[in-house]
Amino acid sequence: MTAPARSPCGLDPLIHEAARLLIVSVLAECQVADFNFMLATTNLTRGNLSQHMARLVEAGYVQETKEFLNRKPHTEYRLTAAGRSAFKRYRKAWREMTGGGGA
């Protein structure tokens, strides 16, 4: 896992992408969320959500747990400590950049 580069204004570009910002924001409010909940909450397509989750998992920001329930695949996600820390830094950088408002 390589730490994502920071933009000149201090925003983490991995989180700053709109869909991933939405995903991380949702996960920050949940202990755990399954794939179907994330689909319904984010309104992303299955493929789009899968790709963005893969990037966040690869970065170490999200933990993915896969299992079978009643012989059906079930995937759950949760923010890691690194993900929570990155989101906290992102929000702080956003507030500083915007003069105290926003995220």
Give the separation between CA 92 and CA 12, rounded to whole angstroms: 11
CATH node for 13-97? 1.10.10.10
| Residue 1 clears pLDDT 90, i.e. is over it | no
Judged by phi (left if over 0) then psi (alpha if -120 to 50, else beta), residue 43 lies in left
| Contact criterion met (CB below 8 Å) for 60 and 84 | no
Give the separation between CA 74 and CA 57, rounded to whole angstroms: 16
Burial class (CB in 10 A: 0-12, 13-18, 19+), 9: exposed
pLDDT in tens, 78-89: 999 999 999 999
Q: How many CB atoms lie within 10 A of CB 79?
A: 24
List CB contacts of 29: < 8 A, sequence separation 6 or more: none
Instruction: Flag whether the pTM goes above 0.75.
Output: yes
Query: Taking all residues of the chain, what is their mean pLDDT, rounded to a whole number?
Result: 90
Domain ranges of the chain: 13-97
71 to 67, 68, 74: CA distances (angstroms) = 9, 5, 9
**Cα 84 to the center of its chain, rounded Å:** 9
pLDDT at 68: 94
